[in-house]
Every structure is written in structure tokens, then in C-alpha cells.
Structure 1
Amino acid sequence: MKQRNRYKFLLILLLSIGFALFIMYVSITNGTFDMTALDAIKTLLGLDQGSDHTLVIFEFRLPRILIGALVGFALGIAGAVLQGITRNQLADPGILGIHAAAGLSIVMYMFVVQAAVKSAGWLSIFNMTFFGWIGGMAATAFLLLFSREQGKLEPRKLILVGIALNSGFSALTLYVSLKMDPQDFEMATVWLSGSIYSASWSQIIATLPWILCFTPILLWRSPVLNVLQLDEVTTTGIGVSIERERRIMLLSSVALVSASVAVSGSIGFVGLIAPHISRRLVGIHHPYSLPISGMIGMLMVLLGDFIGKTIFAPAELPAGIVIAIIGVPYFVYLLVKAKGA
């Protein structure tokens, strides 16, 4: 049985990787400036230097595709971990207020620091990532402070506190953004809607260390998530430190979400839907469901961005809005299903 599940996991993983590569190929070759597969391959291999293809691929399309892949993968894994920690299948980084807190922190950076010093380029991107992490940590501190009951983290209370934090941070973000000058306000509004159209190589370099650092931690601790699904008496009897494990995985998830929000804005529903699809494909065994959840998240963001930039061309619809159009009905379906269970 274990060997069969392993083969199923590997098959689905390979299929999802293949599908992701196919979407990347379509995104590279299609757009306002179409090109053939041969042109794209020659350009990627450096055999077509100095042509318009080089500018289009390396300055516009490839950074956008890679940011979409990284953000989707990070949000998918973070969502699966948060649902495992809370033992609630309706939990995701947006519902817990992590998105909103990171967004508020970055908007504050845009309003106070960036507007004052007019910083741009690499330093600005790294600062935004760091400020996003500070905001995510602030949300985590509030979650840990107000979600405790008799000295222990209560998963159900965690959801309620997260919803309250999400509302509060979102209101503050709107207030601060309204104080910006028109140009910065427009930039912040587009960013908050979940757009990756302005992706750059500096954003990739700023995001990659966070994903390379914290994703292995979550994958390594994924077997513990299986144990955390048991009742606390059984989990403690096995010898697992529930509080310590929850803190480690919560902080690691927040780091992934904060780094993603810093470069893509608030792309919701990825952390909610991807784990559900993953569990349907490979079951609830977290060492298998976490990587698949990451791949499903990657596919969602890549596909959402491609639809947003092509179906309404020459205008563009942010990937976050496209995913929300799909995600809202699915969220309602989950609520109805949970109510009927």
C-alpha cells in the first residue's frame, strides 16, 4: 500500500511539473508579441543575442513567470501547513490575517520610507521583503497572544482571531493608502490586488532565499503534521512537543507568505484551494500532500496570470483577481460542505 501511494505521489508530481512547464512555455511564446517555440529556445540558450526576443523574454516574460511559480509554490505549501496546524480546512494565510498584516507593513514602507527617500531597485525590493516579514511576524505575535487558552494554542480560536486581525489590518491598509499621493496610491492599489506584471530579477533574488530556507524546514517537519491531527493527549503521549512544533511551522509559513506578499501583493485563495486539491489527489499524508500543494499553487498562479494578461488584452487583469473569481465560489462550496458534514 505504501509503495502504491508513493508511485501515485511521484506520478502526480511529475504530471504537475510537466503541466507547469507547459504553462511556462505558452506564457513565454504568447502575448502581445508572439514568437515561435524555436525563437524562444534559441533565445533562452543565448543563440539569438541582440534581437527583440531577448528583451521580451528576459526582461518581461521570464521574471514574471518565475515570480508566479515561486509565489504560488510558497503559498500552496504555507496554506497546507496552516490547515494542518489549525486542523481546520478553511484556514489559509488570508483568513489568518497574515496577508493583510504583511500588506499593511509594505504599504507603510511605501508611504513613509520609499516616498521620502525615493529608493528604487534592489535595495527597495529587499526592504519591502523585510518589511513584509515584520508585518507577518506582528500578525503571528497577535495570533499567539490572543489564541491561547490555558497556556496552549487553541486551533479554533486561532481562526477567529485571524479573521479579526485580517479585518483590522485591511482597514488600516486602506486608510494609509488613501493618504498617499495619486501615483503611489495607484501603484499600491495594483500591487494589493495581487499583480505580478512588474516582476523583475531583483524580486526573484529577494524572494528566493526565503523559499530556499523555510521550505525545507516545512517539508522536513511534515511528518509531525500527521501526528498533530490526533488529539493532544495522544500527541503528547507519543512524545511530540505540540507547542514547539506549532511555533516552528507557523513562523516558517509566515516567512513564506510574507516574502510572497512583498513581491506579488495579496493573492488570495491559493493557500485555501491548493491543499484541498492536493488532499484529493494524494490523501492527507503530509510528506506527500505538501509538495503537491505547492505545485498546485504554482499552477494556479501561473494559469491565473496567463489568463489575466491574455483574455482581456491589451488590458491586463491581476492574477489575484482571476484566482479570486474562481476561489470565491469554491470557498462557498467548502462552507456548505462543512455545514452539511
Structure 2
Amino acid sequence: MSNDIQHKHFTRSEMVSELLRKKALTVIFTLILLSAILFIAGLSAGSTVLNPLDVVKHLTGAGSGEHNFVIHTLRLPRMLLAMLAGAALGVAGLIMQGVVRNPLGSPDIIGVTGGASFAAVFFLTRLAGSVSIKWLPIAAIVGAAAVSALIYALAWRKGVTPVRLVLVGIGLSACTGALTTMMIVMNDEYSTTRAYLWMTGSVYGAKWSDVYSLLPWVALLVPLSLLFAKSANVLETGDETAAGLGVRIQLHRIGMLAISVALAGAAVAFAGGIGFVGLIAPHIARKLVGRAFGYLVPVSALIGSMMVALADVVARTAFLPLDIPAGVFVSGIGAPFFIYLLYRSRHQ
């Protein structure tokens, strides 16, 4: 009798797991389809409006080449860079929220993006005249890594707890923000304008070299984050439970933080300081597929890529001939969402 009960229970668990898997796959397929539609629409929209069918023909190699410059040189690298940066920020935010176990955790809130922005602005205002601009992405990534290491060191006390990481991160974020503002104020008008535009977040003027430089980071680190799926699910239950199940907490936390920092730093390096994507995308993903990390990674990546791409399409078409930074539109959605999260968490 007991074996029959166990068999029924096991079968029921398998059915639930299969239903969750089918739901997640349906969501992922739907998001891929929506991303493809957005991609074609983004290549079609602009000061020169193109027929979506002509865009599809061009992408499949069946086009006449009439719009080659507009599609291939101007819009295609811009859309790809926006989607890659959004995917990187979405996964970086998901990992960060899992590590700190806080719904408000994201690279821009914790201070990682602030470190990248500080390093990039320092480069633009102090070194751009003497050092090749090609080193800007490296500067941003190094800045993000340095601030992250400092956050971890200051939060360390016989280990690192999520609460200390958040508090130290917010404090350092404020410091890097103040230093960045001071550098901008104290420099000439040209450097200030250039740095401010970069800080706002924009993929204006994206080149194929930018796409080729960012692609390896996303292609390598997003799948790599899936290796931490099991430990990430366990860590959500608390450190004591995770330790009891044999998870090496600090090692896994450092590994996950390293991936989050690298993704956020790379995205900020090529797309500027686009905020709130890492905050919003994981929350939407959890509403769609639950809390299983293995499903959250691709869904967060797809939502993040769509957010930045859509923001950029609106930014460059809504106020023609002006080209507004995409970060302005993302922040317009993200700031109220952040306030909502604060309000919802006020009694926790």
C-alpha cells in the first residue's frame, strides 16, 4: 500500500514538473516570436520608413541591396547591440537578486553599474585624448569589477550576508555617483556632454565592432550562469538550509557575483548607463515562469533585450529628427516600478 502511495505521489510530482516545463517553454517560444517581430519593426522604423517585407528579404539575402546602408550599416548593429546589452543586464539583475535575496537588488541599485560609469566617465574626461577610445569598454568592466570587489571586501565578516551586501553596495553607489558628477562638472563642455550622454545610456552610433565585442560576453556568460541553477535555487531557501544540503555558499556566491558583474560591466561598457533593466526584467520573468532559475535565465534575457530594443526604437522615432537616449525611456518606466517595489516591501 505504501509503495502505491509513493508511486502516486511521485507521478503527481512528475506531472507538476512537466506542466511547469511546458509552460516555461511556451513562454520562451512566445518571447522569441515577439522579439523577432520587434526586431523587424525596429529595422523598418526610422526617418526612412521601410516595408517590413523588404527588411525580411534583406536579412535572408533576397533583397535588392537598395536599403543596404540604412539596414546593414545604421540599424542592424544598433538593434543587435541593444538586444545584447538588454539580455546581459536582465541576467545580471536576476543573478544579483538571487545572491542578495532582495527584490530591489540589481547592478545599478547595488553599485556595480556605478563603478562602471565612474571608470568610463574618468576615461572620457581624463584619458580620451591620449588613450584610444577602444579601451573604453575595458575601463568600464574594470571599474565594475573593482567596485564589486570593494563591496564584497567591506561586507565580509566571517562570510558575506545578503543584507550587508545591499547596504554596502547602496553606500558605494552613492559615493561613485557623487564622484562621477564631480568629474563631469569640473570638465570642459565637450567632455561633459559626451560623458553625460554615455551615462544616460544610448546605443546611438553603434558599430559592428561593438556587436562583435559584446557578443562573446553574452554568448559565454549567460549559458555559464545556468551551471549555477541548482545552487541558486537552494540558496533562495537560506544559507543554513543551503549549507545543510552541501552547497559551498561563499564559493557559489562569488562565482555568481562574478558572472553578474562581468555581464553588467560589458553591457554598460557598450550601451552606457542604462538603468533599471536588471531590476524589472527578473520580476516580470518570475511572474511568467515562477522561481526556477533554469527557466528564469532565458526569460530574463529575452525580456531585458526587448526592453532596451523597444526603448531605443521609441527613442529614435518618437521625436524625429531628435535621437533621444534609450536610457531616458527605460528610466521613465523603471523609477515608478522601483517606488512600487519599495511601497510593497515597506512592512517586510
TM-score (norm 1): 0.94
What's the CA shift for 1:47? 4.2
Which residue, out of 268, 291, 294, partners 1:287? Answer: 294
Q: Which residue of 1 aligns with 2:164?
A: 157
Secondary structure in structure 1 of the residue aligned to 2:43: helix
Q: Which residue of 2 aligns with 1:139?
A: 147
Structure 2 residue 90 is matched with structure 1 residue 83: no
One-letter amino acid matched to 1:25: I
After TM superposition, the structure 1 = structure 2 runs for residues 122-133 of structure 1, keeping only pairs within 5 Å, are 124=134, 127-133=135-141
Comparing 269-278 with 205-214, greater Cα deviation is found at 205-214
Q: Which residue of 1 aligns with 2:12?
A: none
**Greater C-alpha Rg:** 2
Structure 1 unaligned runs (5+)? none
Conserved 8 A contact 1:129-1:206 = no
CA distance in 1: counterparts of 2:108 and 2:316, whole angstroms:
24
CA distance in 2: counterparts of 1:233 and 1:323, whole angstroms:
37
Structure 2 unaligned runs (5+)? 1-15
What's the CA shift for 1:340? 4.1
Q: Which residue of 2 aligns with 1:19?
A: 34
Conserved 8 A contact 2:118-2:176 = yes
What's the CA shift for 1:49? 5.7
CA distance in 2: counterparts of 1:165 and 1:25, whole angstroms:
40
Comparing 218-227 with 69-78, greater Cα deviation is found at 218-227
Structure 2 residue 342 is matched with structure 1 residue 299: no
Secondary structure in structure 1 of the residue aligned to 2:49: coil
Residues 130-174 of structure 1 show CA distances to partners (whole Å, capped at 9, x for unaligned) of 11111011111111111123x110101111111111111111112
What's the CA shift for 1:100? 0.9
Residues 10-62 of structure 1 show CA distances to partners (whole Å, capped at 9, x for unaligned) of 000011111111111111111100111232133323444653x1001111100
One-letter amino acid matched to 1:38: L
Comparing 78-87 with 37-46, greater Cα deviation is found at 37-46
CA distance in 2: counterparts of 1:266 and 1:241, whole angstroms:
33
Q: Which residue of 2 aligns with 1:38?
A: 53
Conserved 8 A contact 2:200-2:274 = yes
Comparing 35-44 with 228-237, greater Cα deviation is found at 35-44
Say how many residue pairs are matched: 333
One-letter amino acid matched to 2:34: F
CA distance in 2: counterparts of 1:22 and 1:42, whole angstroms:
14
Q: Which residue of 1 aligns with 2:114?
A: 100
Which residue, out of 5, 20, 23, partners 1:5? Answer: 20
Q: Which residue of 1 aligns with 2:130?
A: 116
Conserved 8 A contact 1:67-1:199 = yes
One-letter amino acid matched to 2:40: Y
Q: Which residue of 2 aligns with 1:273?
A: 280
Conserved 8 A contact 1:101-1:138 = yes
Q: Which residue of 2 aligns with 1:242?
A: 249
What's the CA shift for 1:184? 2.6
CA distance in 2: counterparts of 1:84 and 1:239, whole angstroms:
18
Conserved 8 A contact 2:125-2:195 = no
Q: Which residue of 2 aligns with 1:331?
A: 338
Q: Which residue of 2 aligns with 1:67?
A: 81
Q: Which residue of 2 aligns with 1:257?
A: 264
CA distance in 1: counterparts of 2:262 and 2:286, whole angstroms:
23
What's the CA shift for 1:234? 1.7
Residues 281-310 of structure 1 show CA distances to partners (whole Å, capped at 9, x for unaligned) of 111111111211111111111111111111
CA distance 1:41–1:291, change in 2 (3 Å): closer
Residues 204-261 of structure 1 show CA distances to partners (whole Å, capped at 9, x for unaligned) of 1111121122212211212211110122222111111000000000011100000000
One-letter amino acid matched to 1:167: A
Comparing 77-86 with 167-176, greater Cα deviation is found at 167-176
Conserved 8 A contact 1:77-1:294 = yes
CA distance in 2: counterparts of 1:267 and 1:303, whole angstroms:
13
What's the CA shift for 1:108? 1.7
